Structure 1
Amino acid sequence: MPSMPGTALLKCLNLNQMHNELTLQRHQPDGHTGRYVQAVWFARAAQAGTRWLPCDGAQGILFVLKGELMLDGQKIAAPFHIQAPAKQSVELSYSAGAEFAGIRLFPARFKALREAVSPLLAPSGLSELAEQLRQTPKISTLEQWLEDFSALAPDPSYELQHTYQLINKLMQLNPLEDAYRTIPLCMRQLERQVKAQSELTPKYLARIYRIRNAQQQLRDNPLTNLAQLALACGFSDQAHLTREFKQILRITPGKYVRQLFA
């Protein structure tokens, strides 16, 4: 399964990542489960803080285990919250001492999985997982859930295989028209499939991955010329780059660079 633009695909990242007040553990599955799940993760906050959840066009499930969580100022009710497909970056706020966890799927997976693995993704199954996480607040609890998930996750249908193939091409930054030509389904059929499964159009997904690539390039080289970055990443000009940053990432390139140096 290809990674998001600019993100190294580490098969198992089971280490503590310190972001001042936040400790994060993360595991990325491979094999059959890796077709559907980007990662599972567990976080513990020593202090109150905020983080931006990147826009990736996908859905996820957040588990509130201790303390309070808010998304864009709206409190998340325990024990779990199913996130809508990510069209923009979202601000996550957490209280001191909060413990929370998550399952992040790939785009266009949740609807197809909800029926196929209903014991796990039904409200009762998610509530049971939340209770297990409260009892054993460790990444290993989510890794065990992945084993159960793998036993139930189906092979995708013919149409879904090609839907995922198209999305993978877009994630790899292939131009949209080129991506369509590599898939043995007509463009209209693919558009309908992607929209039905992800609630987003292929064109919008392509925009997400293009701006995320630009963001990663800027993170790697904060002193890069923005006009040159825009052209290198497929934008018509710097103004186009700035508009996409603001609309999808909810920040300007200039402010993003200043945050990198903060």
Structure 2
Amino acid sequence: MNLEFDILKPQRALAGYVQAIWSASVKPDTTQTVRKQLLSDAGTGVVFILQNEVQMDGEWHAPGVVLLPVSILAHQVCLPPGAVMTGVRFHPAVGYQLFGKRLEQLLRIQDVHPLASSALATFESLQTARSPSARISTLYRWVQALIEKYEPQYVGHIIDQPAGTLSQRQRERNFQKWLGITPKHYQRIKRVKHTLELLRAQPDLTLSELALEQGFSDQAHMTRECKQIARMTPKQFVRKRNL
């Protein structure tokens, strides 16, 4: 396979803040650009582009450190031959606390950014790392120090559990501040992602039964939601998986 992809899902202390730390590279001698459709998850992330330009949502980005906005829709990443990138994926609302604000679009870290000192030093270290495991270890140490420094509040219980000490209005205000969407919209994103992940693992599932099991009113409703949020229907998703 032309794409080498490695992923670490942190345990213990980091698990409440970080979904994954990953490394991706495309062999230099391949002739084709690797294209990947990434499902939306309402999370944010930091990407370190180490070698060659990489295309994200139709725009090419040179090597450097890029902060990702809240993922509301699926997006495409294109890695040309020789591309190397690595990154951290945060749980919903964590990025807001680390970045200092909710991002509306991709943001390249420059010298004046609060994270510039540590992020750009880590970028230099990553460029000398010669293996996926070395890159992931370097990023693990960076994000661990980042969490210790900024001490973001753990808000998973507010995001994923409607019943709690907050009123519905307070919860909606938090969602708007952190994610820019309503709790209902978040649940839609979460349901579509879970539905397509089930299809990825079990592509022979009957779509009509899957729709009812996942709480859609019918298969047509599931198809509309997937097309709107994941930018493809369940059938298209299965076909793409088999390419």
Q: TM-score range by the shorter chain?
A: 0.7 to 0.9
With over 3 angstroms needed to count, the CA separation of the structure-2 counterparts of 1:187 and 1:154, relative to structure 1, is same
Summarize deviations over 1:202-244 as a string: whole Å, max 9, x none: 1111001111121122223322222221111101111110111
Paired residue type of 2:96: K
Work out which of the residue numbers 189, 195, 210 in structure 1 matches 2:176.
195
The alignment's TM-score, normalised by the length of structure 2, stands at: 0.85
1: CA distance between counterparts of 2:151 and 2:62? 30
Identify the residue that residue 34 of structure 2 maps to in structure 1: 49
With over 3 angstroms needed to count, the CA separation of the structure-2 counterparts of 1:89 and 1:168, relative to structure 1, is same
Summarize deviations over 1:83-106 as a string: whole Å, max 9, x none: 110011111001101110111111
Paired residues of 2:47 and 2:65 also in contact (CA < 8 A)? yes
Paired residues of 1:59 and 1:84 also in contact (CA < 8 A)? yes
2: CA distance between counterparts of 1:120 and 1:132? 19
1: CA distance between counterparts of 2:147 and 2:69? 23
Identify the residue that residue 46 of structure 2 maps to in structure 1: 61
Paired residue type of 1:131: E
1: CA distance between counterparts of 2:156 and 2:137? 28
Identify the residue that residue 141 of structure 2 maps to in structure 1: 144
2: CA distance between counterparts of 1:214 and 1:113? 30
Paired residues of 1:45 and 1:96 also in contact (CA < 8 A)? yes
Summarize deviations over 1:143-171 as a string: whole Å, max 9, x none: 22133234324162xxxx5x4213233xx
Tell me whether 1:109 sits opposite 2:91 in the alignment. no
Paired residues of 2:97 and 2:152 also in contact (CA < 8 A)? no
Tell me whether 1:125 sits opposite 2:118 in the alignment. yes
Secondary structure of the residue that 1:55 maps to in structure 2? coil
Summarize deviations over 1:25-60 as a string: whole Å, max 9, x none: 222222332221111111111133111122100111
Summarize deviations over 1:111-137 as a string: whole Å, max 9, x none: 21235xxx9961333222211111225
With over 3 angstroms needed to count, the CA separation of the structure-2 counterparts of 1:197 and 1:223, relative to structure 1, is same
With over 3 angstroms needed to count, the CA separation of the structure-2 counterparts of 1:155 and 1:101, relative to structure 1, is closer
Query: After TM superposition, where is structure 1 displaced by more than 3 Å over at least 4 residues in a row?
Result: none
2: CA distance between counterparts of 1:78 and 1:261? 31
- Cα deviation for residue 186 of structure 1 reads 0.2
1:113-262 → structure 2 map (5 Å cutoff): 113-115=98-100, 122-137=115-130, 138-154=135-151, 156=153, 161=154, 163-169=155-161, 180=162, 182-262=163-243
Secondary structure of the residue that 1:32 maps to in structure 2? helix
Secondary structure of the residue that 2:12 maps to in structure 1? coil
Identify the residue that residue 79 of structure 1 maps to in structure 2: 64
1: CA distance between counterparts of 2:75 and 2:227? 12
Say which is worse superposed, 183-192 or 45-54, in terms of deviation.
45-54
Paired residues of 2:189 and 2:229 also in contact (CA < 8 A)? yes
Paired residue type of 1:214: T
1: CA distance between counterparts of 2:5 and 2:85? 10
Paired residue type of 2:216: F
The alignment's TM-score, normalised by the length of structure 1, stands at: 0.79
Paired residues of 1:33 and 1:149 also in contact (CA < 8 A)? no
Percent identity of paired positions between Structure 1 and Structure 2: 31
Between the two proteins, the alignment pairs up a number of residues equal to: 225
Tell me whether 1:96 sits opposite 2:81 in the alignment. yes
1: CA distance between counterparts of 2:240 and 2:96? 36
Question: Structure 2, unaligned stretches of length 5 or more?
Answer: 101-111
Paired residue type of 2:220: A
Paired residues of 1:33 and 1:153 also in contact (CA < 8 A)? no
